[in-house]
Amino acid sequence: MNKIVIVNLFAVLMFVACTPTPKSYIVEGVLSDNSYNNQMVYMYGYENRDSTLVVNGKFRFVGSVDTADIRVLALEQFHTIIILENGKISVNMAEPNSAKGTPMNNELSKYQAELSAIIDAAQEEHAKIEKNQNEDDETRQKQADKTTKFYNAKIDTLCTNVFNANKNNVLGAFVLLNTSYYLEPEKLNLLYSQAGDIVRRDRELQKIIKINAKAIQTAEGKPFTDFTIENGNLDGSKVSFSDYVGKGKYVLVDFWASWCGPCIAEIPVILEVYNKYKGDKFDVLGVAVMDKREATLKSIERYNTPWSQILDGGDIHNTLYGIRGIPYIILFSPDGTIVARDLRGDRLKAKVEEVMCDCN
């Protein structure tokens, strides 16, 4: 019996030793029908772009890579993420999570499918809460916050598990990038601190970590970070953030842009609290970021926003406050301490009402 085991083990070892590591890749894709024949499919990377023609509802990329990399396959409305590594990779463009054939692509698709299921479930729960008119706004907001916390925790667990198995490869970097919006800043930092060199060298992730550090520095309970813009006033004169914040009032600061649809959609909410509480204890300040001055001015006029504005904010929202998306609204206390971040809709109204009731 022992001899048989030894012989079989030897055969397995010989097979593994003689199996060559792939030195090139083949990406084979299919489309839903032949209507895309003779169109180009593009494969995008950070610095690379390749393309190939669709023939008989199929396409093929062939080449080699020294190190695995994240790529996006794109054709009109179809977008699919793959990990480009040497080996044979197959993908169905009609199914976003269909990349398979190599170890990391198999795991990537599994991770994406599980993440999509969590997000879909969260959206379904939020839709139910939104439609439930038997509860008042405050109760629905509490339910929404509880739902968000519950599903973010599930995303945290999924991210952590997949990352722990891929701490030093491109999949680990992708997982941190992809779920960094849902992770608490401290948790993102913790995982990144455990990463290997391949993850740490990812340039997009390095940017996120820098922004994340600013989010931690300007978390709730921390003092405000000041900045000055030479032509930031409406009349083109110099203005500082500290001209408004830390001056004895609660200040609701809206980081926004004229081209941002959700920013415009939030204006009625901000206007409601502004009209209700404006005075010697409360004010609103808009900070226009990533926008052209002319467009900002036209938007202010069009929507008749009555509160003060700082223009030409550039990217100060992420370089100073760790904000990655707008609108992003922060409430500051009279001494400039950050009371609450990322306020929107009913949660915004509830938080302002809370602090204003306390200070009366």
Choose among 107, 70, 65: nearest CA to 87.
Answer: 65
Give the end of a domain, one of 217, 249, 282.
217
Q: What is the CATH number of the domain that holds 301?
A: 3.40.30.10
pLDDT at position 34, please?
A: 85
pLDDT (0 to 100) of residue 4:
36
**Does one domain contain both 188 and 248?**
no
Please check whether residues 241 and 125 belong to one and the same domain: no
Q: The domain that contains 53 carries what CATH number?
A: 2.60.40
Pairing relation of β-strands 58-63 and 49-53?
unpaired
In this structure, the answer to whether residues 331 and 246 fall within a common structural domain is: yes
CB atoms within 10 A of CB 131: 9
For residue 117, what are the β-bridge partners? Answer: none
CA distance 256 to 329: 9
The CA distance from 249 to 325, in Å, is 26
Q: What CA–CA distance (Å, rounded) separates 255 from 249? A: 18
pLDDT computed for residue 188 by the predictor: 95
Q: Could you say which of 63, 96, 129 is where a domain stops?
A: 96
Residue where one domain finishes, among candidates 217, 251, 276: 217
pLDDT of 13 reads 37
Q: Which tokens hold the place of 103?
A: 């170890």
Per-residue pLDDT of the chain (360 residues; tens, 9 = 90+): 333 333 444 443 344 444 455 689 999 999 988 889 999 999 998 778 899 999 999 999 999 999 899 999 999 989 999 999 999 999 999 888 899 999 999 999 999 999 999 999 999 999 998 888 777 777 887 888 899 999 999 999 999 999 999 999 999 999 999 999 889 999 999 999 999 999 999 999 999 999 999 999 999 999 999 999 999 999 999 999 999 999 999 999 999 999 999 999 999 999 999 999 999 999 999 999 999 999 999 999 999 999 999 999 999 999 999 998 999 999 999 999 999 999 999 889 999 999 998 766
Structural domain containing residue 303: 228-359
